[in-house]
Amino acid sequence: MRIFLMLWTLIASLGLVAPALAAEAAHTGHGAVTYRPDVTFTLRTAIADGKLVFKGDAGAIEGKVNPDLHVPENAVVQINVINGDGAIHDISVPEFGAKSDHFTGQGSSTAIVFRANKNGTFEYLCTLPGHKAAGMFGKLIVGEQQEQAASSAMGIIQDPTAVGKPVGKRGPEHITVDLETTEVVGQLASGTTYKYWTFNDKVPGPFIRVRVGDTVTVNLSNAKEAAHIHSVDFHAVTGPGGGAAVTQAAPGQTKSFTFKALHPGLYVYHCATPMVAQHITNGMYGMILVEPEGGLPEVDREFYVMQGELYTAEKHGTLGHQEFSLEKLLDEKPEHLTFNGAMGALTDRYKLQANVGETIRIFFGVGGPNLISSFHVIGEVFDRVYDKASLTSPPLTDVQTTLVPPGGATMVEFKVDVPGNYTLVDHALSRAEKGLAGTLTVSGKEDHSIFHSTEPVDHNSGH
């Protein structure tokens, strides 16, 4: 008991115990603490799959990456962390005021102790700048399992490979496009939900592929369960509101219009019902590709990626259901930034896959509604960039980063020569902290003439 008291005193003195719990600690007449931790977990910092993570180091969580930590309500919880990678870290459970000091050096350790005095799903994380974005966070689940709402939420992430069939050499045709506008609770992140407004239950909406000269009929149906009027504005349309003037559909209604695709290019479409920015941020955007006569040149892989913003009342990283914030939307201060609708959409749910020697084409657009994107793939150079998605202008060549405005698009192409993981980002890189990252995994044989690691040269060795 004396050893435990000494440990407790040390933990409290180092600031590793939640203030509320430190104040709560009581002693018997013999000087002993009246309680000890009910649940203890041991984690180890590590690097796994190119990410910084916590790994379970003992018991049922051993070997698990960022394991869920289950505890009873009102339990006293101790989390020990061992430094396994040598970098500087800390451990925090913000909801319960528990945070350790920084610790560094392989084999060093720290601990936090707190009382989990309310039911729910909460976050534990490393609070050093960039470490959460690099992967150092997990869930503390207090009391009854809180995952039911999140697990039953709809998966709204758009598959980046769902690009449709190239038009090839065919002539003009009459094409029909059916869109349904829906309002659904979707999974924003693990343990986190949001009320999305969508086209066809996905964010972004379906990738529509036609050719110049096609006649296109759009049928827009607003789900009867919806609470709002919705519409669609195609930037590829020559006509009032891009179609929005004739598609303002109340719940349960269907509106239609027909247009001729006059201009080749890659174009954004979105809902254009007031307040337009609210409809867009909630997920109502997508793209239509109008291929030139004869179609686009063949490539090995095509991907559909769109960047969007979510403005929630709750801060980024908060677990549970997130509510829309009009104030943050008007201030243009998003809490979440996404590729294809949700956190981890292109890192956890869908990783872009390719093989060495293949040529990749990415159809990239910005739903917005507010922020310009500086689109970049870390470790690659774009061989060709069709600036502003103009398919009739000569492409730019050998481009590192390309600007795409909200409501705009680009098409980039590049050959992959070296195996490995490549990260898709907006090069306004603080946005990666709020979710803007994707992964392109390239498989195949290494070519050491292009890239390989080498031992550092010792300039003091005399050789």
* 228 assigned to a ligand binding site: no
Residue with the two structure tokens 């008007």: 330
Hey, what amino acid is at 373?
S
Hey, what amino acid is at 41?
F
- Nearest CA to 269 among 342, 334, 371, 198? 198
Q: How many CB atoms lie within 10 A of CB 250?
A: 12
CA 341 distance to own-chain centroid: 7
* 452 assigned to a ligand binding site: no
Alpha carbon distance 178, 199 (integer Å): 10
* 126 assigned to a ligand binding site: no
Alpha carbon distance 149, 54 (integer Å): 25
* 6 assigned to a ligand binding site: no
List, as one string, the DSSP characters of 373-411.
EEEEEET--EEEEEGGG-SSSPPEEEESEEEE-TT-EEE
List, as one string, the DSSP characters of 35-104.
---SEEEEEEEEEETTEEEEEE-SGGGBT-BS--EEE-TTEEEEEEEE-SSSS-B--EEGGGTEEPPPB-
* 27 assigned to a ligand binding site: no
Alpha carbon distance 257, 215 (integer Å): 11
- Residue 210: phi and psi, rounded to 5, are -135, -175
- Nearest CA to 8 among 33, 28, 40? 33
Alpha carbon distance 178, 161 (integer Å): 20
Q: Which residues are part of a known binding site for Cu cation?
A: 230, 235, 270-271, 279, 284, 427
Could you list the residues known to form a binding site, using ranges.
230, 235, 270-271, 279, 284, 427
